[in-house]
């Protein structure tokens, strides 16, 4: 699939960065004076060797030392201040984009999951780390390198030529470092991402892997990805280490060469000993930013890659448009000529589907596996936008509602219920940091989960997690049902709601459906088991993604299902199984 033009995303990132433009100017000014104060050491040595030692004046030495201590203190204060400023610039940049990147990653993952969406927040953090790191300050110091080299040339042209040649060689090494490590680092990062993703999947399904004796096979498969990641990291570290060592060694050699050449010129009477020492110090200061950049180039490359990924992500997922707030809708759902193509697929799983759900109705959706029931559930909740046609809630298309508002109007119980790290109350309250206790308890009672929750060690404050095995599948499903009805939705979409429920749980589910209908709400139930459609008046039959039948339940069963009498008996009053 062709990449989306990332210019809009880059402009958005630049706009966020530009909000701290004033702070960059402050850092630039502080860098000016800090680098100017870098001349303190060379000038001090120049004065000591050429004046103090010659005049043997202790008073001059003391005065110079006190002045140098004061200047170094000012320089340290400036360095500390610009470091604090850049740390806050990075934090401000991340805070400015946290919600935007988080929302874009969630929307992209729900639509067409890829690496950019999965690593969006890590990419943002990598850019923030670069902004807050000393290596970024090196970019402010590098422009001073030519001035320091020119200062060396003032002492003697030969020293300037040596310094300039050495600086040029280090710049070539820096460019070679960038060109050589870019591809291996990209491959290593991708391999690391794959191994981490596989490890997360294995940990999520740890119970199944343990019970089915798959540990060795899972380890072997993970180890292949892990080994590839380690090889990539070692290759990148070896290359980076080679360039860092080369830079350090060559810089030390240059300083010694500067002293040697300076000593020769002193012997020839062409310069003073103080100028020789000052030139060596200036050489080290001139090349320090370049060495910093080479040693920390991995951080720079990771941030550059993160910037590119963020630009692609933000371009692909544009900001949500501001929508006019609509009143609470009636429970009237219209599916008009809807075609749905799942994310990442080329073939539609729902084709030109039409039906209507009226207030107070419960509609059962049945059909063989792969017929499109779960796809329909995701389309109605707005998770998968239709490729064609319209889904309307009380006359308005779903995209006219803000996604968070739509989620309040349409409750959803997915086929696989997932709990998040937190308390049961927080999970029922849809991860709210301040759950409404009355609404939480009311939702749990609607799902007949109140008594079950009270029997847990911490009641509603019991801590659960995605990997916790404390709750059974049926308990999790009932908590999921409570979460679905927490916002008092007008439409309730249940995907295989009784797959893990016992007889008591199925009765509680049917009672919740009856309450919804009595309140003028509507319910859609995607089902395999007849007991799930007991409370349904209408029935929609899907085959190969198309509507095979739609109408009153008894009529549809009689026309489309051979064993309709047995199903009617199972789905009729008292027929819960």
Please tell me the pTM assigned to this model.
Answer: 0.74
Residue spans of the domains in the chain: they are 1-133+304-318, 144-295, 333-571
* pLDDT average, residue stretch 188-204: 75
- pLDDT at site 530: 63
- pLDDT at site 92: 92
With CA atoms as reference, report the closest residue to 92 among 31, 24, 28: 24
Question: For the segment 157-183, what is each residue's pLDDT rounded down to a tens digit?
Answer: 898 888 888 888 888 887 787 778 777
- Average pLDDT of the residues of the chain: 84
CB–CB of 27/82 below 8 Å? yes
In this prediction, residue 113 has a pLDDT band, given cuts at 50, 70 and 90, of low
Q: Which two tokens stand for residue 241?
A: 């280490």
Question: Residue 546 has what DSSP assignment?
Answer: E
Question: Could you give the CA distance from residue 234 to residue 229 in angstroms, rounded to a whole number?
Answer: 9
- pLDDT at site 568: 52
Q: Which two tokens stand for residue 172?
A: 């070539």
- pLDDT at site 207: 62
Q: Which two tokens stand for residue 469?
A: 């095995």
* pLDDT average, residue stretch 483-499: 88
Least confident of 34-38, 272-276, 386-390: 272-276
Question: For the segment 121-165, what is each residue's pLDDT rounded down to a tens digit?
Answer: 888 999 999 998 888 888 888 888 888 888 888 888 898 888 888
Question: Could you give the CA distance from residue 534 to residue 503 in angstroms, rounded to a whole number?
Answer: 13
Question: For the segment 494-515, what is each residue's pLDDT rounded down to a tens digit?
Answer: 988 877 777 777 787 888 888 8
- pLDDT at site 243: 79
Question: Could you give the CA distance from residue 477 to residue 483 in angstroms, rounded to a whole number?
Answer: 10
Q: Which helix (H) or strand (E) holds 135?
A: helix 134-141
Sequence-distant (≥ 6) Cβ neighbours of residue 562 within 8 angstroms? none
Question: Residue 144 has what DSSP assignment?
Answer: G
Domain 333-571, CATH 3.30.9.10 — does that match? Answer: no
Q: Which two tokens stand for residue 144?
A: 């001073």
Q: Where are the beta strands (DSSP E) in 189-332?
A: none
Fold match between domain 1-133+304-318 and domain 333-571: no
Class of the CATH domain delimited by 1-133+304-318: mainly alpha
In this prediction, residue 302 has a pLDDT band, given cuts at 50, 70 and 90, of confident
Question: Any bridge partners for residue 355, and if so which?
Answer: 335
Give CA 18 to chain center in angstroms: 22
Question: Residue 49 has what DSSP assignment?
Answer: I
Question: For the segment 231-286, what is each residue's pLDDT rounded down to a tens digit?
Answer: 877 887 788 778 778 877 887 888 888 888 888 888 888 888 888 888 888 888 88
| SS3 call for 128 | helix
If one looks up domain 144-295 in CATH, what number appears? Answer: 1.20.1560.10
pLDDT at 1 over 60: no
Question: Could you give the CA distance from residue 527 to residue 253 in angstroms, rounded to a whole number?
Answer: 77
- pLDDT at site 317: 84
Question: For the segment 427-453, what is each residue's pLDDT rounded down to a tens digit?
Answer: 999 888 888 899 999 999 888 888 889
Sequence-distant (≥ 6) Cβ neighbours of residue 125 within 8 angstroms? 94, 306
pLDDT at 526 over 70: yes
């Amino acid at each position: 699939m062709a990449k989306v033009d990332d210019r809009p995303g880059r402009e958005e990132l630049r706009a966020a960065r530009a909000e701290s433009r004033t702070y960059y100017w402050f850092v630039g000014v502080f860098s000016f004076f800090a680098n100017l104060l870098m001349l303190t050491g060379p000038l001090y040595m120049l004065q000591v060797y050429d004046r103090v030692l010659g005049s043997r004046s202790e008073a001059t030495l003391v005065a110079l030392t006190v002045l140098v201590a004061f200047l170094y203190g000012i320089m340290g204060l400036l360095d500390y201040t610009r470091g604090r400023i850049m740390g806050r610039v990075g934090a401000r940049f991340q805070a400015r984009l946290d919600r935007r990147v988080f929302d874009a990653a969630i929307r992209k993952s729900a639509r067409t999951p890829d690496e950019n969406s999965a690593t969006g927040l890590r990419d943002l953090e990598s850019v923030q780390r670069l902004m807050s790191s000393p290596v970024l300050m090196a970019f402010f110091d590098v422009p001073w390198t030519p001035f320091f080299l020119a200062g060396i040339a003032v002492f003697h042209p030969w020293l300037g030529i040596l310094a300039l040649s050495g600086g040029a060689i280090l710049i070539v090494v820096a460019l070679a470092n960038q060109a050589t490590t870019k591809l291996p680092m990209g491959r290593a990062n991708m391999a690391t991402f794959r191994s981490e993703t596989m490890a997360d999947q294995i940990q999520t399904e740890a119970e199944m892997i343990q019970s089915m004796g798959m540990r060795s096979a899972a380890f072997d498969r993970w180890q292949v990805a892990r080994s590839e990641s380690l090889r990539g990291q070692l290759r990148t570290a070896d290359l980076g280490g080679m360039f860092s060592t080369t830079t350090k060694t060559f810089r030390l050699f240059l300083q010694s060469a500067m002293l040697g050449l300076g000593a020769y010129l002193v012997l020839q009477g062409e310069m003073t000993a103080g100028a020789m020492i000052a030139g060596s110090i200036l050489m080290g200061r001139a090349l320090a930013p370049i060495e910093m950049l080479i040693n920390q180039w991995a951080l720079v490359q990771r941030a550059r890659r993160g910037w590119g990924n963020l630009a692609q992500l933000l371009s692909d997922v544009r900001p949500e448009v501001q929508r006019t707030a609509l009143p609470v809708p009636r429970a009237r759902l219209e599916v008009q000529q809807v075609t749905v193509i799942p994310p990442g697929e080329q073939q539609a799983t729902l084709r030109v589907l039409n039906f209507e759900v009226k207030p107070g109705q419960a509609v059962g959706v049945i059909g063989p596996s792969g017929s499109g029931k779960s796809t329909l559930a995701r389309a109605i909740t707005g998770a998968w936008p239709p490729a064609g046609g319209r889904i309307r809630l009380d006359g308005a298309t779903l995209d006219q509602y803000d996604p968070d508002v739509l989620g309040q109007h349409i409750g959803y119980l997915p086929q696989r219920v997932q709990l998040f790290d937190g308390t049961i109350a927080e999970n029922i309250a849809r991860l709210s940091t301040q759950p409404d206790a009355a609404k939480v308890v009311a939702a749990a009672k609607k799902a007949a989960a109140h008594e079950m929750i009270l029997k847990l060690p911490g009641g509603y404050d019991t801590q659960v997690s995605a990997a916790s095995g404390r709750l059974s599948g049926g308990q999790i499903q009932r908590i999921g049902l409570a979460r679905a009805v927490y916002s008092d939705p007008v439409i309730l979409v249940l995907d295989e709601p009784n797959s893990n429920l016992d007889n008591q749980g199925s009765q509680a589910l049917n009672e919740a459906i009856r309450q919804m209908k009595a309140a003028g709400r509507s319910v859609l139930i995607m089902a395999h088991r007849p007991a799930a459609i007991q409370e349904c008046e209408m029935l929609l039959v899907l085959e190969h993604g198309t509507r095979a039948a739609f109408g009153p339940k008894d009529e549809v069963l009689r026309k489309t299902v051979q064993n309709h009498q047995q199903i009617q008996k199972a789905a009729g009053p008292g027929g819960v199984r």
